[in-house]
Structure 1
Amino acid sequence: MTRDGAGLPDAAAAPDTPRALDLDKLFAARLHAAKVRPYLATALFALHTVESRSIPTMAVDRHWRCYVSPYFVERTPVEELAGVWVHEVSHLLRDHHGRSDRVARERGLTGPGERLRMNIAADFEINDDVFGDGLVAPEGAVRPTSLGLPEGQLMEDYLRLFSLGPLTRDLAWLDCGSGADGLEREWELGPDGAHGLSAQERDAVRFRVAQGINGRPGSAPRAWQRWAEEAFHPPQAWRELLGAAVRTAAAGSGVGEDYTYGRPSRRSAGLPGVVLPSLRRRPPRVAVVIDTSGSVSDAELGSALLEVTAISRAVGGRRDLVTVLPCDAAARVAHPLCRAEGIPLVGGGGTDLRTGFARALRARPRPDVIVVLTDGQTPWPDSRPPCRTVVGLFPRQPVTGSHDEDDPDYEPDTPPDWARVVTIG
């Protein structure tokens, strides 16, 4: 008996007699889901249901349509249906389709097998904390512990921790739709189909859900609270710029080279009986220098920590490759990235980020990319660092007059030409 992403049995043994979708039962389950998870109510009622006999259970597309099997609804108790409603809408709220597309581009993952892995990893991210407190966990729900993996990780982290094999054989059919892994299905209505939400409408739904979570702190799991904090900071253009800088650094000669037997070298074909390793590249190491001087507000420091989380995703979720350096007039302790909210941003004095550059470049191994988050009121190094540099500027109004009481002609330096600069809006 196969199961869907939330762990529910499929309709393999369903009779051939067509049945109408029991909307009363399905909507009663949605109402129950909204009652036990009120902060998700806006998203649950934004989904448009589509009856489908091409799927065994329930699935969503990236346009916020929910495809439902009438046989599945007939056989499943209302309480368990409520759990599936929450599971499916969680894929959309957490942007698993967009994140899967980004991961596929960054890591060169192609084919339906890799998309299945993304679907499984996305289910792990959701199911480790979505059930309980009035929401029934369906029997056999797909959880990371089933593969001996830790809970509390992101989809991108789980993708590095498992591959398809004997332990995932029972999940080979799993299909939560393009809303879970970004791959459009034949049975979906597509971007031009009826009742899909526009990009603006989808953003509005996410914002309303985030408002509900932030308005009642403590009523949602910590993973949802972190999601809500990030939802109030929409994706910035500078993140795409950072991603381009990261990819350029990774493509540079001699950067991140290593050997692996996971994919044998093509030259092995010329040496029968000998398996040669192939050359691979790791994501680049990133040093993040955060301006903690007195001219940077607490709100901007909080925003900087959210950007650090985005940076960790830009390097494929490898937190071990990201180091954070708080810096005002002196560089502080370099913190390896575990969780962004645990990094102390100590400072409050003057500003001289040259010490942060020097400290970052003394690290061993040396970073491949330096990211600086600052208001720009700082002197800059005289020479180009031997690695890519991206500067994220906190916005400032044009200032007249001096910033230095001892020098009335002082004007802060602009970022140097060798740095890629963008404003963090």
Structure 2
Amino acid sequence: MAGLDTTKLLAARYRAAADRPYLASALYALTVVESERVPTMGVDRYWRCYVSPAFVDRTPVAELAGVWVHEVAHLLRDHHGRAGRLPAADQRDRLRVNVAQDCEINDDLLADGLALPPGRVEPRLFGLADGQLFEAYLPGLPAFPEIHDCGPGAHGQPVEWEAGGKGGPTRIGPAEADALRRRTAEEMRAHTRARGTLPGGWKRWADEVLEPAVDWRQMLAGAVREAAAWAAGAVDYTYRRPSRRGAALRGVVLPGLRRPLPRVAVVIDTSGSMGEEELGSALAEVTGVLREVGVRGNRVTVLACDADVRAVSRVAATEQITLDGGGGTDMRAGITAALAGPERPGVVIVLTDGCTPWPQEPVSCRVIAALIGPSAPPPPAWVETVRVPA
């Protein structure tokens, strides 16, 4: 690459990887792109690192190593993905978003003893505390008309010096990026076990990658909504609402199409191993979502089941549900009874601790299992699963 001191640039990357080997895989995944248009260094979402030859010439190797770590941190922390979930007004203020992201990164880098070029951004410059995520820093920052731009790999907005997404320099896709993040998090955890030292922000990030905190309520609500929408997708003909096309045919009445609400069966594991508090929480979530999508009253059948079906009821509120049982566990009986009813459900939701046999073959409707407890055994692959922590 003419004009770019490649030896110096790559020596700085080698130094960064040697001093912090847990970042080596991510650092060497970056593709270098020489650019006269980028002010210093920046990244895009495809893990391409754009480098100004003039910046490399005037920056010492130790500081270049720090910039390498800074830029790869934007990608490891998925800053562009997180920026895409900000309100639209914040997304448009890309430089302010970039400063907030730099605050999230640089406090860890400085605490780790990394050298960074003059003019670096850190939380204390704005009277903010260290150790926060950029989303927390953003409201406390002023507008920035001119400041270093780390590129679309940070703030997620297009810039004039970015290469095209297709063709051109090597690019890394989302699946490869996720694999790199997980591998780096595993290397960080191994480093912590061996040496016991890692900046707080990196440790928190690695823990979140390896043990993501998932809101089971959102997952369960999403699964129930999606299944209800799927079951309601079936249409049928009805003469109660004649087709508007019939107006063109004198003397002929054409049936219209209707989209019926689905019927839902909730099978509740009432065996002795089930905790009432967890059952109540999960059942409240299910009935709340069903009410939101318009499925209520006599369209919801609740079956209490241990080794056999103990009670079947149609309910409008959770207070009407009777949970009889306390013996063994066999959710097959509950699913079979739900499907054998006079009005076949489009969705069956099973609330259970998972210690049960399941039907060997997929049944003729959507089945969602809310598995209660961290050690609940998984159901067959054809059952949609949401884990509810005890």
Report if the CA contact (8 A) 2:74-2:154 is conserved.
yes
Q: Are the equivalent residues in 1 in contact too, given 2:103–2:121 (CA < 8 A)?
A: yes
C-alpha separation in 2, matches of 1:110 and 1:381: 32
Q: Residue 127 of structure 1 corresponds to which residue in structure 2? A: 106
Counterpart among 55, 58, 68 of residue 51 in structure 2: 68
* Closer/same/farther in 2, CA of residues 233 and 408 from structure 1, 3 Å limit: closer
For the 8 Å contact 1:36–1:134, the answer to whether it is kept is: no
The residue aligned with 2:88 is 108
RMSD: 4.1
Contact 2:83–2:91 (Cα < 8 Å) also in 1: no
Partner of 2:207: 229
CA–CA separation in structure 2 for the residues paired with 1:207 and 1:382: 33
What does residue range 195-206 of structure 1 map to in structure 2 within 5 Å? Answer: 195-206=170-181
**Pair 1:210-2:185 in alignment:** yes
Given the superposition, is the C-alpha separation of residues 210 and 355 from structure 1 closer, same or farther in structure 2, using an over 3 Å criterion? closer
1:214 to 1:41, Cα distance in 2 relative to 1, 3 A: same
Aligned position for 2:277: 353
Q: 1:212 to 1:56 in 2, by over 3 A?
A: same
Shift, 1:129, TM fit: 1.2
Label 1:72 to 1:228 Cα distance change in 2 as closer, same or farther (>3 A).
Answer: same
CA distance in 2, matches of 1:153, 1:137: 20
Q: Deviation at 1:194?
A: 2.4
Determine if contact 2:35/2:52 at 8 Å carries over to the other structure.
yes
Aligned residue in 1 for 2:357: none
Task: Give a deviation string over 1:99-126, Cα, whole Å, max 9, x none.
Answer: 00011xxx232664x2112111110100
In the alignment, which residue of structure 1 is the partner of 2:150?
Answer: 176
Contact 2:98–2:154 (8 Å) recurs in 1: yes
**Out of 127, 132, 135, which is 1:156 matched to?**
135
Pair 1:32-2:49 in alignment: no
Aligned pair partner of 2:123 in 121, 126, 144: 144
For residues 182 and 278 of structure 2, what CA distance do their matches in structure 1 show?
A: 38
User: TM-score if structure 1 supplies the norm length?
Assistant: 0.54
Cα distance in 2, alignment partners of residues 145 and 244 from structure 1: 40
* Unaligned ranges ≥5, structure 2: 224-270, 294-304, 310-323, 335-348, 353-365, 371-383
- Say which SS state the counterpart of residue 40 (structure 1) adopts: helix
CA distance in 1, matches of 2:286, 2:211: 34
In the alignment, the residues of structure 1 paired with residue 98 and residue 286 of structure 2 have an alpha-carbon distance, to the nearest angstrom, of: 48
The answer to whether the 8 A contact 2:66-2:116 is kept is yes
Which deviations, in whole Å up to 9, do the C-alpha atoms of 1:357-415 show, x marking residues without a partner? 5xxxxxxxxxxxxxx5xxxxxx65996499979xxxxxxxxx99589995357868835
Say which is worse superposed, 67-76 or 178-187, in terms of deviation.
178-187
Percent sequence identity over aligned pairs? 44
Q: In the alignment, is the contact (CA less than 8 A) between 1:128 and 1:151 conserved in 2?
A: yes
1:134-182 residue CA offsets vs partner (Å, 9 max, x unmatched): 5213333101111111111101111222231xxx45xx23210000101
Amino acid at match of 1:194: P
- Count residues with an aligned counterpart: 268
Q: CA deviation at 1:216?
A: 1.9
* Higher gyration radius (CA): 2
Closer, same or farther in 2 for the Cα pair 1:102/1:232, shift >3 Å?
A: same
SS of the equivalent of 2:109 reads: coil
Which residue pairs with 2:164 in the alignment?
190
1:84-99 aligned within 5 A: 84-99=67-82
Alignment of 1:215-364 (within 5 A): 215-217=190-192, 218-233=196-211, 351-353=275-277
Give matches, 1:346-385, under 5 Å.
Answer: 351-353=275-277, 384=288
- CA contact under 8 A between 2:91 and 2:155: conserved in structure 1? no
| DSSP-derived class of the 2:81 partner | helix
The 3 A distance-change label for structure 1 pair 196 and 354 is closer
> Do residues 423 (structure 1) and 385 (structure 2) align?
yes
Q: 1:19 to 1:237 in 2, by over 3 A?
A: same
Distance 1:101 1:243 in 2: 23
Q: Deviations over 1:188-207 (max 9, x none)?
A: 11320321112222122112
1:270: which partner in 2?
none
